Amino acid sequence: MSAVSPVLSTDEDSLELHMVRLELEDVEKQIRGLLDKQAQLLERQTALETSCASAHISKVSTQRGISTPSPSTPCVSLCRDRAPRTFPAVVSVTPAPTHLGPWVNQRRKARAGPSPPPVFEIPTRNRFAPLRQTRPNTVIVGDSIVRNVRVASSKGKVRTHCFSGACVLDVAAQVSGILKKDERIGAVVLHAGTNDTRLRQTEVLKRDFSSLIETVRGRSPTVKIIVSGPLPTYRRGAEKLFRPDGLHPSSLGAELLSDNISKALHSK
């Protein structure tokens, strides 16, 4: 039995192989038939498209030939054999009026409307203007020491002009641009000289301060001038009133300087 089994399996494989080959041949025949059928259909399609295009061109040409008459085509006259009777026309002319004077434009009469209401004059004078005029402004001019100075005045506005690194003469050069002629200024506070003390020229510093005061006086002759001299140095004053650089005042020092200037402004 063991010798017969391999022989039977081999015969079955051979038979199945033969059947597969036959089936493949049938499939190939079907494919060839389909390809032939496709080629025939494509050829027929091309022929039909060519025929349709030719028929369309022929139809268009025929329509054009009908719509456009040829030179040899006789024209049919639609005129009647006998023309209608005509009568002589009578022309009626109306003479234009002659111009007897200059042209005058006609104006439409305006309808009489209601009279406008009476106009009453309302006074617009500001009653607070005299109070404003009696409150002169205050100007503070100086070097970087007055940068954080805040002074409140009940008499008017306070403007502070700070020029960092400026000497006394530098501040004097800025006075003409700061003090306006049309502005009513009650007092000018001058704080300078911090950048001049390092030169150790006392007489020169006095002369420069005199020049600064004369410049302010020449700009505003009636103004009140308050001179705030240079602050003490770091070693000669309280440490808490100065910044770490030992030159500029701290927030507490700026507040103290502002209070001193306010007291000087309110004093008579």
Q: What is the pLDDT of residue 103?
A: 63
Read off the pLDDT of residues 183-214 as tens digits, 9 standing for 90 and up. 788 899 999 888 888 888 888 989 999 999 99
Q: Comparing C-alpha atoms, which of 229, 231, 212 is closest to residue 264?
A: 229
Residue at 87 is within a domain: no
d(CA 160, CA 188): 10
Q: What is the pLDDT of residue 201?
A: 83
pLDDT at residue 71 is higher than 70: no
- Strand order across the 158-162 sheet: 158-162, 137-142, 185-191, 224-228
Do 252 and 168 lie in one domain? The reply is yes
pLDDT at residue 31 is higher than 90: yes
Q: What is the pLDDT of residue 237?
A: 66
Range of the domain at 43: 1-57
Residue carrying the six token digits 């150790």? 200
Residue at 148 is within a domain: yes
Q: How many domains does the chain have?
A: 2
Residue at 254 is within a domain: yes
- Judged by DSSP in three states, 54 sits in helix
d(CA 215, CA 179): 11
pLDDT at residue 80 is higher than 90: no
Residue at 80 is within a domain: no
pLDDT at residue 261 is higher than 80: yes
pLDDT at residue 126 is higher than 50: yes
Query: Mean per-residue pLDDT for 230-246?
Result: 75
CATH of the domain at 212: 3.40.50.1110
Do 52 and 138 lie in one domain? The reply is no
pLDDT at residue 49 is higher than 60: yes
pLDDT at residue 76 is higher than 70: no
Residue at 115 is within a domain: no
